[in-house]
Chains A and B, each alone.
Chain A
């Protein structure tokens, strides 16, 4: 083994906290699929503990198991003993990466290109985004699809091509000023995180977020050219890179001057709130990271906390249902707030989605790494959406948004034909009150 056993150096009480009662099993999408213990949180923890105890080698099979896990954290909601599965799972993935049991040339190359190169460089990511936008908007994409260009690619890559997100014509920096002030009295000063995929594919949702903040008396500070928050790295066994990105995020805000730092992507928020732990051994950043954790708020959480103003106009949508991002509900325990926001909009009927907190299969890059299991979960979600019967589904994570939109599109005749986000509907409602109210 190249260096210290990460699972061994982990505080053993985190592993020991699992009392193997089995309450996580029925909430785990992979266990429910296979009914095999190794595919359950309890089973995976026992494997990690066996590695920590020196009873089990770090093997390819172990690595496969850690990557079969969605990391949806539904088990954390179910766990009576409060096991910190997120930390265990990140450590275990880092362990298998360190042991290099999974290395193939191709896997290594793609990991390096995405984790070490693209997602470490905000300018490069956005450059790629611009290129993709040109490709999509000039009709080149249609042409390539027409001539079956993707038939020439390896099958696994070709299957992913239709899932490429539609790139926004403008990114967040183009449509949100570095500082925007509310028209009426300023009550709070908040930082806004624009994300990376969110910024490329959903900059309009960042605009909507800024608008609802402004409408609620928040001055909004949005640093330029923001980095990835590092959740992608932490979840894929690259803890050092994740630390580097965490430091960058912290440095891009003046924490003392802000009441809160707002995130609108469930997956990012869940990770952003754990910088304190991630950097706890960093002498310079440990204290800052703790303060950071206290200030990071999911947009829905923040709006309810400051008693957001109920809109007086509707959002132009009659019925909506809500899919919960795993890392919003299980990771951040933000469950009732998005529903409160949807319920506050006049004329909007809210319908519960069966299994609303069951993973949609997007799970970061899971739909790329485990397409088969991801598709099964998407099918389940699409069937539940059919049962809910609402024409619009709201969610609050770019991965879920894209995944569900793809699933519905593939369906053709689905009664649900639009994916949106709670903040977008709230912003639409505020705008409908008086179009001039929100922008400064």
Chain B
């Protein structure tokens, strides 16, 4: 009876409605799950912006909300990159800020009073819900099976590879960019399938939005032309392809040029040239097809292919020529490091120093994608079996992004959507085959078994399929088990690895209770409340955005690493002797210097561990004055204890880190818990700086830069005098006395 009532529900026209409703409910549930699993950090800590870059985005958004769009566009930020300033309005991707600004104003219009901070914190989870929906649409285009879309949406909603960049509070460009990426691809597939200008134009519009939101738009810019190119090479040119591609390119390029930061790049930069080349190619192909319509003949095929290769070759040669001659901007450094992983390390230490730009470690794939990574090849294989236009797209996307994800950690993000699609295709194929309850016609089975001995092959074809309940149960159960494990894994990873705001650290006390380490905010609020409004803070660039956002003080360098020289200047000041550093500090009007020191707590992300990057970056600009070798002992070790080299011990960073540190310990017992070494018994001497603030766990130490001595003495001598040391009479100098001529 139950079966029959189910049948009523699931079959016929009412069945379609029910299924539609069910599907909507499932999708909404998936979206809700996607949102809620990203709220761990808000629940565990508080509604706070995470990490580094989001702080800048948050600050920019506040500026946008306060001053309006036009002044945001023309924003010249004089509180970063002191004294250069930053033409912020023209050097950022405004999509994120504008999106949250619009949401803010809409909510205001609806008289819902909401703090802009909460919008920023919750934007990423909100958009991840949308991403799940977009994923559903994209996958539905790929497969006729309804379960594939739902599975893909569910995967996308909870896979850690995406959660890592979209937990509540990580208010970064990627938060909306992934949604736009998936949705643009959906529209593109739709356009290719339908060959309609409208879908092409919509693709272009969303592409334009994507361009305004994330630098990763270049991925789309190259993937779509590649897709078209492969299709043409496969001899699958069609008017649909022409319509969708040309519409997308013409509108999309113009649209992307409306973004001030992108500007003329789409026709200047090599990154965008492939799209232009394919645009030319498709014109030729279209024309050839057009002529062909009037000209039947075998030769034509030859003509066509030869023309294609000729033109492509010519275009490629021209591109190389123009790049070499400098008309087109050379590839950007980040792009080079995509192809040659060693490139950045040698040429641009600043790029290599960012942990996001490091090559991915293999376990990270499993960590971020879990069992999807096993299903991924299966899904790609299924695509090969069908191999329609959209499946070609999936294959290309899969190949390209797996390579990129292997090169750079942060590009794992672009891999995640396609892994979800492919895995969902594979899994839905498995489930569709195994989960269907109906038995084959018993007669046919009987016939088959009886015929088995006679005509082996033909009967095999007729009744192939999985009918045994046992195998069905086993496979289905194991798949469900995998799915459950996947969900458990995702939840565990999300709650443990990706939900820490990194502004607030959490650790466990011996008794298991949580212990919150809030040194960052303590120090930033100290700066906010105890220093003049325009006191310039020098720190390594990692903390620039946070100081700007939380302490609201001008900084010398920040995470927008556009000016290598300026960063190298800070690196030089940190890695040189006080006598060298002090003039640099004076010249840049530095009032306070901030360092991060984890020695007391065993916090390993501190400045001394990043110190070698400072040295390297400084060495890149001043090879004569800073030399990395000097910071290593003669045996090539990086040491901070008694054995450290004099250069190391005299460097400002070393002194600032360990100044007075031994006062915490009994004499001669000072220990650095990060590097696990015993420190020299004597504290380093600081003459040109004075300690202004040290946070509770010593993670942040702030030093004030002393003014010039009132009596015109060296700081050395002034400090010695204050300590009560008698200054020695100027001893008899060798050589002739210098006379005062004035």
* A and B together in one complex: no
